[in-house]
Amino acid sequence: MGSRHSNRGVQVATGSRKRGAGETLMHKQLVEDGYFLSGRHLVMAPDCNATENLFGGQLLSWIDEGAALFAGCKMGTDRLVTLKMGEIIFKVPVERGRVVSVYCKTSHEGTTSLGVHVVVTKRSFEAGGETPVIDTNIVFVSVGEDGKPRPWNLPIINQE
């Protein structure tokens, strides 16, 4: 049977129970905790450095993309910008052939901004379980056509 331990506020489930296709104990726990699977990527050779590990910059791009998709859906707009990312600590390397998953959950709602907590995991199909790689916070801001902050979830009016 598996055990659970905390990893910077994220419940991590370990164990060997068989799950349905694509579902691991960690995935189930994250979804139960209110996270949404916002992106999944297979690490291929062009994404890797000389040690055959994923480039950190590529992973940051996938994190920003997945979190922006989540924020855009939540905010009801495709006009948003990344204001800031929290501390990034790469807990473990991500090897070629692994599947990277980006999970997102709202951490705070402002008038023009949305905070998103992001948990990134890696998975090996052979090993089965997911391993936490990064967890951080990102803040997005809704902007108007002039590029200035505007309240989100409001209709954009074209003045033609």
Q: In DSSP terms, which residues pair with 143 in a beta bridge?
A: 149
Residue 58: inside a domain: yes
Q: What is the pLDDT of residue 13?
A: 36
Give SS3 for 60: helix
Q: How many residues does the chain have?
A: 160
Which structural domain range is residue 21 located in? 3-142
Residue 86: inside a domain: yes
- What's the total number of domains in the chain? 1
- In which residue are the tokens 């164990």 written? 15
Summarize pLDDT for 101-124 with one digit per residue, the tens: 999 999 999 999 999 999 999 998
Task: With cut-offs at 50, 70 and 90, classify the pLDDT of residue 10.
Answer: very low
Residue 136: inside a domain: yes
CA dist., res. 71 & res. 138, Å (int):
10
Closest CA to 74 of 120, 26, 41, 107: 107
Residue 89: inside a domain: yes
Residue 6 has pLDDT above 60, yes or no: no
Residue 24 has pLDDT above 50, yes or no: yes
Residue 160: inside a domain: no
β-strand pairing of 3-7 with 10-14: antiparallel
Residue 64 has pLDDT above 80, yes or no: yes
pTM for the structure as a whole: 0.81
- In which residue are the tokens 């495709």 written? 78
Q: What is the pLDDT of residue 158?
A: 52
Summarize pLDDT for 123-160 with one digit per residue, the tens: 988 877 899 999 999 999 999 999 999 999 755 555 44
CATH number reported for the structural domain that contains residue 22 in this entry: 3.10.129.10
Question: What is the distance, to the nearest Å, from the Cα of residue 137 to the centroid of all Cα atoms in its chain?
Answer: 9
Residue 80: inside a domain: yes
Q: What is the pLDDT of residue 52?
A: 96
Mean pLDDT of the chain: 86
Q: What percent of the chain has pLDDT over 90?
A: 75
